Amino acid sequence: MILQCPGCRSTRIAAHHTGRKVCTSVGTVAGAASGVAAASTGARIGATVGAIAGPAGSALGGLTGALLGGVVGAIAGGSAGAALGDFVDDNILDNFECLDCGHTFSVDTD
């Protein structure tokens, strides 16, 4: 897709992705928070599995389970946030700026 400024027909267009950046950050934090909440389950499972290897394995397994919960949650939240941010950028915000005349505009992607 070649973008063109609706004002001066320039093709020197910059995309801001403001919504994407904001939503990705918010999604990552929210996802990590819910991931950490779910991590207690992961920690319990990890501790149970790790217990086979003894007390050290139990502690290590619990830690691994908690970490995995947080990381997986953050990634899932970040992806969801990025998708939402793209939608906001495309449909709500003036996501594009003309580098020649400074005009900002949004584009119908369909």
Cβ(17)–Cβ(87) below 8 Å = no
At CA 36, angle to CA 31 and CA 38, rounded to 5?
Answer: 95
Nearest to 51 by CA among 39, 61, 43: 61
Site residues for Zn ion per CB under 5 A: 5, 7-8, 10, 98, 100-101, 103
Nearer to Zn ion, 14 or 92 (CB): 14
Beta-ladder partners of 14: 97
Nearest alpha carbon to residue 6 among 91, 106, 79, 109: 106
Q: Which is nearer to Zn ion, 5 or 36 (CB)?
A: 5
CB 104, min distance to Zn ion, A:
10
> Min. distance of Cβ 92 from Zn ion in angstroms?
21
Nearer to Zn ion, 66 or 98 (CB): 98
Residue 102, sorted as left (phi over 0), alpha (psi -120 to 50) or beta, turns out to be: left
CB of residue 93 to Zn ion, shortest distance in Å: 18
In whole angstroms, how close is the CB of 110 to Zn ion at the nearest point?
23
**CB-nearer residue toward Zn ion: 90 or 100:** 100
